[in-house]
Amino acid sequence: MTAREYLYTIRDLTSEIANKALKSNMLRDMAASVSSPELDVDRVCSTPQECAPLENLIIDAMIIDKEISILRKKLMQQKAEMLQKIMLVDDCVLCEILSMRYVDILSWDVISDRVNLSQSHVYRLHRQALDEFEKIFQQTQKDSA
């Protein structure tokens, strides 16, 4: 894993949580909606299902909610771990840029406003920060292996 891939893990986890939340909400909406019975179709008696379709929707939503809870805990741990590694970069402005970009997932516009620098200067500092972080990340990978 490269340093850049590592830095994007928080964004990926955040995206996964958001997608699961949308799916859970969709299932809950489906469970809450009322559907009319199909009167023009002949029903054939078959083996009864273990759960009614409404029940299945609610159960699926609950399972997804549990997965979201687990992912949120993982996200918090990942953020704490990443911040510790980012703080190993010597320059505090570079740390701040990396933190805002990869932990807080802020846009370049917001970052440049917060550090009160032009966007092009923030890009240059970001490149420098990535180079320094890459060295630190590779060293921590070697130490842990």
pLDDT digits (tens, 9 = 90+) for 87-139: 999 999 999 999 999 999 999 999 999 999 999 999 999 999 999 999 999 98
Mean pLDDT to the nearest integer, 40-64: 72
pTM attached to this predicted model = 0.78
Give the model's confidence band at 37: pLDDT under 50 very low, under 70 low, under 90 confident, else very high: low
Q: What is the pLDDT of residue 133?
A: 95
Q: Which H or E run contains 119?
A: helix 119-144
Q: What is the mean pLDDT of the chain?
A: 88
Q: What is the pLDDT of residue 1?
A: 83
- Check pLDDT > 70 for residue 67: yes
What is the DSSP secondary structure assignment for residue 93, as one 8-state letter? H
Contacts of residue 113, Cβ cutoff 8 Å, sequence gap at least 6: none
User: CA separation (Å) from 140 to 23, 88, 145?
Assistant: 37, 11, 9
Between CA 104 and CA 117 the distance in angstroms is 18
**Pick from 110, 109, 83: nearest CA to 98:** 83
